[in-house]
Amino acid sequence: MAKYKEFHARSIEDPSAFWAEQAALVDWHTPFTQVLDYSRPPFAKWFVGGTTNLCHNAVDRHLKARADQAALIFVSTETNEEKIYSFAQLYREVNRMAGILKGLGVGRGDRVLIYMPMIPEATFAMLACARIGAIHSVVFGGFASVSLATRIDDATPKVIISADAGSRAGKAVPYKHLLDEAIALAKSPPEKVLMVDRGLEKDFPKVAGRDVDYAELRAEHMNDEVPCEWLESSEPSYILYTSGTTGKPKGVQRDTGGYAVALAASMKLIFCGNPGETYFSTSDIGWVVGHSYIVYGPLLAGMATIMYEGTPIRPDGGIWWSIVEKYKVTSMFSSPTAIRVLKKQDPALLKKYDLSSLRLLFLAGEPLDEPTGRWIADGIGRPVIDNYWQTETGWPILAIPRGVEALPSKFGSPGLPCYGYDVKIFNEANGEEITAHHEKGVVAIEGPLPPGCMTTVWGDDERFVKTYWTSVPNRQVYSTFDWGIRDEDGYFFILGRTDDVINVAGHRLGTREIEESLSSHPNVAEVAVVGVADQLKGQVAIAFVILKDAARADTLEKRLAHEGELMKVVDGQLGAVARPARVHFVSSLPKTRSGKLLRRSIQALCEGRDPGDLTTIEDPTALDQIQAAVRS
C-alpha cells in the first residue's frame, strides 16, 4: 500500500504541486497563475487565471488524432435505435446545437435548462452550452411540474431544451405537458423552448412565439463553426439540483477548470480508461454520474461513451452484457440496485456473452452489500470496484484508485480516500476526531475540497457554508452527512445517513446497520428499514423485506414464523434493542429511477403522512404494497 499512501499524502500535504501535475491532462488556452486560492475558506478557487473550455477538451482536441473514432454510441431498447457518432460527427452536431443556442440569444453566463430523455441531442445540448460558456442545468426527464418549476425559478434559464417524450419499458412518457405546466407555475419563464420531436407523442401542444423546432433550426445551422468561449477556471460550467431538507432545491454549482482536471485525472487514476476504449455508464444525464461519467469524463479521456435508453431487463436481463460484447466495453459503471435487479434474472445470461474486453465493473449510488458484490464478481469473473461520492463532489471520495496501485477491494467498503480528499471521522456530539478503528462517527472532509467539487450553492453562498460546513461541532469541515467507520487498513465503511438514525428509547441506531443484519439471512433479497414514530419508545424500526423465495411466507402462519426468524437474526447480531417492531414482506420497494430508496416516503406512509414528491419513482405500485402491508 506504500505507493497509494505516498500518492495520497502528497495530494494532501502539497496540493498545489500535486494538482499542477494533474492539470497537464487538459488543454489550457491561458495558463493559470496560481493553483489554489484558499484565502476565503471554505470557498476554494482552483487554477486561478487559467482559461479553458470543457467542450474543447471533450471534443475538439481529439480531432487531430481520433476524428473517425467512435465518441458517442447511442443505444435505445425503447425505440430500437443504435447510432454511433465519431468525434468528427459529434463536433459537427455540437456546433449545430451551439449555433441554434446563439441564434436564440444565449451567451456566456446565461442558463439553459435541459429537460430531456437519454437521447444524443441531450449530449449535444450539454456540450454546446459548455462550448459557448452558457451554464446548463439538466433536470431529470419526467420530473413533475411543481419540482421543475422550482428549478426554473432558481436557475432562471433563457432557453429550455426538451423533447416530446421519453420512454420507459416500451411506454411513452410524455414531457411537454409537464413542461408547459411548470412554465405556467414559474415566476421566471424562459424566452424560448427548443423542442426535439421524437414522434413519440403525436400532436403535442406547441406555444406560438415561444416554442421552436430543433430539426428546423438544425437544418439552418448545418455548417456553423462556433468558436469555444475560453472561460476562467472558476466560472460555472453547470448547476445540478439535489434535494434539500427545505422545500427549496439546492443548486450544486460546478466550476470549469477544476472539474475538467478532476475528471481527466479520475479517468486515468480511478477508472483506468485509455483513449480509444469504450466506457459504459448505465446512469442518466439527470444525475451527477451521467454528467461526470456518461458525458464529460469518458470524452475528456478520448474514449467512446455509451448512452443507453432502456431498462436493465428489456428485452431480457442480458441486454447490458450484449452491449459490452458488441462495443468491446472496457470499463462499466452501474449501481448496486441495478445489479440486484439482474440477480433476479436467469444466471445463465451472465455467461451468454463474451465479456473478455471488460476489465472492471464500478458500482456506486448506495452501499454495496456483500452478497450482491460477490454474486456479480463471481458471475462475470471481473473485479468489482465499489466507490462512494455525492452530487456535491462530482467524482469519487472513496474508491480503490487502481491507476495508482491495484489494492484489494473489501466487500462492504467503498475503499480508501481518493487523492485530494482529506477524509476523517468525527464525533458528532463534540467534534473530536475519531482515530480508533471501527469506531462510528460522521464522515467529513477537511477543506479545501479538491478540484471538481461544488464551489457553492447557486446564488446562495450562505447556504453552502451553513449546510455543509457547520454541522460538526467546533470544526469547519465538509460533512457528508453519512456515518462511517475506518478499519485497521484505512478502508472506510459507510453506515448510512446521519439523518437515517432511529432513536429507540434513547438508543441511536443506524437503519443501515439493521438492514445489513437482515440481509445476512439467506432468504433475504432486499430490505429497507425506517424509523417510525412510537408513543412509548419515541421511534421503532420497521423493516420491509423482499424474499428470494416468497413461498416461505405465503400464508399468515408462515409469514409470522419467518418474521420471527428474521427478528432473531437481528437479536443475535445487534441485540434486542435493534430488533424491528415489524418485518413486512413485499415484492418491490419504492425507489427512484436512479435506484435510491425512497425512505422518507416509506416512513411517511408508516406514520400516516403524505409521502411527498414522488416524481422520480420507478414503480408507483411499490408504495401501494407498503401501504397495504402497514394497514394489515
Q: What domains can you pick out in the chain, each with its CATH number? A: 2-310+387-481 (3.40.50.12780), 500-631 (3.30.300.30)
Q: Is this structure's pTM higher than 0.85? A: yes
Cβ contact 395:292 at 8 Å: yes
> Where does the pLDDT of residue 403 fall: very low under 50, low under 70, confident under 90, or very high at 90 and above?
very high
Beta strands at 441-446 and 111-115: parallel, antiparallel or unpaired: unpaired
Each residue's pLDDT tens digit, 41-95:
999 999 999 999 999 999 999 999 999 999 999 999 999 999 999 999 999 999 9
Q: What is the mean pLDDT of the chain?
A: 94
Amino acid 502: pLDDT = 76
Is residue 632 scored above 70 in pLDDT? yes
Q: Which helix (H) or strand (E) holds 91?
A: helix 87-103
Indicate the residue type of 96.
Answer: R
- Provide the sign of the torsion angle of the four alpha carbons 421, 423, 429, 432, taken in this order: negative
Cβ contact 114:139 at 8 Å: yes
Is residue 594 scored above 80 in pLDDT? no
Cβ contact 137:159 at 8 Å: no
Each residue's pLDDT tens digit, 218-259:
999 999 999 999 999 999 999 999 865 445 778 999 999 999
Closest Cα partner for 385 from 359, 404, 346? Answer: 359
> Where does the pLDDT of residue 496 fall: very low under 50, low under 70, confident under 90, or very high at 90 and above?
confident
Is residue 397 scored above 80 in pLDDT? yes
Amino acid 507: pLDDT = 65
457 DSSP β-pair partners: 252
Q: Which three cell numbers stand for residue 44?
A: 476554494
Is residue 291 scored above 60 in pLDDT? yes
Amino acid 597: pLDDT = 85
Is residue 142 scored above 90 in pLDDT? no
> Where does the pLDDT of residue 585 fall: very low under 50, low under 70, confident under 90, or very high at 90 and above?
very high
Q: Give the count of alpha carbons within 13 A of 461, CB side only.
A: 5
DSSP annotation of 227: P
Q: Which helix (H) or strand (E) holds 2?
A: helix 2-13
Backbone phi and psi for residue 353, each to the nearest 5 degrees, phi listed first? -110, 155
